[in-house]
Structure 1
């Protein structure tokens, strides 16, 4: 038997994803600040690219959260 679709806490879960992703961005930026002279150009670019994708994900989470709020 399939479980019923319970969306009661979707907004809360989406906010948790947003908060965690923002924390990951900040942690990566702190790492870059602290180790800028120790890491390779490729490693720096990889971290910056990942943070860019994280920021895009946050936009998606926010849009999804707005959709959930409207339902």
Structure 2
């Protein structure tokens, strides 16, 4: 029995919506991390700050991609 692997069609119709949800989730993660800083030592606070900086960079990238997706439609 031979199986033929066919690639799934490129359905990008909901990419912008998925990206918007990812941005919202990331913003919530940033907020939660900032709340935990109250209970963190200096080393942990620095790690949280660095991680949140990376999260903000990701948000910028996702927003740019949302804009690109919106222009595609």
Number of aligned positions between the proteins: 67
TM (normalized to structure 2)? 0.87
Larger Rg computed on CA atoms:
2
SS at the partner of 1:59?
helix
Paired position in structure 1 for 2:47: 46
Paired position in structure 2 for 1:63: 64
After superposing the two structures, state which structure 1 stretch, 5-14 or 39-48, moved more.
Answer: 39-48
Q: Distance in 1 between matches of 2:41 and 2:37?
A: 11
TM (normalized to structure 1)? 0.90
Structure 1: unaligned runs, 5 residues or longer: none
Paired position in structure 2 for 1:18: 23
Q: Runs of at least 4 residues of structure 1 off by over 2 A?
A: none
Structure with more relative contact order (C-alpha pairs < 8 Å, separation 6 or more): 1
1:4 equivalent among 3, 9, 24: 9
Q: Distance in 1 between matches of 2:7 and 2:42?
A: 50
Aligned CA RMSD, in angstroms, stands at 0.8
